[in-house]
Amino acid sequence: MLPEAFCTRVKKQLGAEYPAFLESLERPRAVALRFRPGWERELPFLGREVPWEPLGYYYDMQARPGLHPYHEAGVYYLQEASAMAPVALLSPQPGERVCDLCAAPGGKSTQIAGRMAGRGFLLSNEIHPKRAAVLSRNVERMGVWNALVTNESPRRLAERLPGFFDRVLVDAPCSGEGMFRKEEAALTDWSMETVAMCARRQLEILDAAASLVRPGGRLVYSTCTFAPEENEEQVAGFLQRHGEFALENVEVPGFDPQSNGVYHLWPHKVLGEGQFAAVLRKNHGVEARPVKLAAGEELPGVWQAFAREMGIALPPGKAVTLGQFLYWTPEEMPDLAGLKVLRPGLALGEVRKGRFLPEHALAQWLAQCGNMQDFPADSKEISAYLHGEAVPSEKKGWCLVRVEGASLGWGKGDGCVLKNHYPKGLRR
């Protein structure tokens, strides 16, 4: 049962389209996934392409692709089709500095990373610690190397990195009206008070985001709600407070080219849930003061020996150590000392007593290396590996375990079996 106050307002918003909207909420919801670039597969349960995302496809809900080994290998990310729209509007480019300010659980951050093609710097932030941990795990699973994951308030980031980013996405926490069909909690938790509370919180986040964007840069604000207080009125108030910004029209397949920078996805008009987005260009403003970049370190000899043996070549970047752990970060990674950083780039491994122990994140980033063992997706070996068991193999030393060409994790061979190094927390 939809709340009466919600129905009254949406009926006023949609007029003659209101019955079609109600009918759409009775239909089974559409489900979609998005491939990691270069890891696309022909899968029997895939349907048509998502119009605004070239790597996005609708799929048969009965297929349950989240249980397939491909999901653990980061071949694809399960993401609602409408939720792919804000990144299409953001249109991040390789080599840019991009910030996803409210990033958990990571769908949009990994989508941004795919469009950046491993070049540039991505900061993925989430203020809630538990959700930030989920974000970090998904960034790792999808093989993103050039992303920093932080657990900070937008205000603190704005103070440290004013004007640092070419593009900023604010997928704001909202009342979730567009998720009524997908999530029962969104419906049961809804109230007009929740809408007002979310609008106040969004105002603060947007003001911080305005400071993060460089002059000439782009800010995309999005929600999964229909409430004008959180959408059009929020954008109008932002433009009054920030005269340096203006709405910008972006041509994206599947969207009305005459949207004038404000985009609505209604479930009776698209194959997906509800979504709102506004594209804002920062036309002028104070040029950013120089931001101190993080200092790089020399890669230790044990890593260099491991990399030579395994045939691993890192992209341009710099090394950073945290305790015994070695990370590889983008060259443009800023110095964020004093901020809560969960993941300062790609975790290469641990240097322990003169030995190098590779991290799971390195395995998920690698497409291939000099010592690999491939298994079919439906094999007993893959099932055993995902359960944490040893698997038969003639390989010796550290070995990249793959499922039909997609990296799953590490094993260490003695010529007879691969000792399992799949993380205990991920095992089935």
> 269 Cβ partners below 8 Å, 6+ apart?
none
- Please name the residue that has the structure tokens 């998502």: 50
- The phi and psi torsions of 166 (rounded to 5 degrees) equal -75, -35
Tell me the CA distances in angstroms from 408 to 37, 141, 146, 215, 427, one per residue in order. 17, 9, 19, 42, 12
Q: How far apart are CA 410 and CA 358, in angstroms?
A: 8
- Whole-angstrom distance, CA of residue 25 vs CA of residue 4: 15
Kindly state the DSSP code that residue 67 receives in the 8-state scheme.
Answer: G
Decide if 394 contacts 363 (C-beta within 8 A): no
Percent of residues in the chain assigned helix, strand, coil, to nearest 5? 30, 25, 40
What Cα–Cα distance (Å) separates residue 230 from each residue in 82, 154, 202, 363? 17, 18, 7, 41
Pairing of strands 406-414, 318-322: unpaired
As a whole number of angstroms, the distance between CA 111 and CA 89 comes to 12
Euclidean distance between CA atoms 184 and 178, whole angstroms: 11
The token pair that represents 140 in the structure block: 């790792």
Q: What is the 3-state secondary structure (H, E, C) of 227-281?
A: CCCCCHHHHHHHHHHCCCEEECCCCCCCCCCCCCCEEEECCCCCCCCCEEEEEEE
Rounded to 10 degrees, what is the CA torsion of 227, 273, 173, 149? Answer: -160
Active site residue 99: no
Q: Say if residues 75 and 97 touch (Cβ distance below 8 Å).
A: no
The catalytic position among 174, 224, 369, 399 is 224
CB contact burial 90-102 (16+ within 10 A = b; e otherwise): bbbeeebbbbbbb
What is the 8-class DSSP label of residue 28?
P
DSSP 17: G
* Rounded Cα gap, residues 209 and 294, in angstroms: 22
The catalytic residues are 224
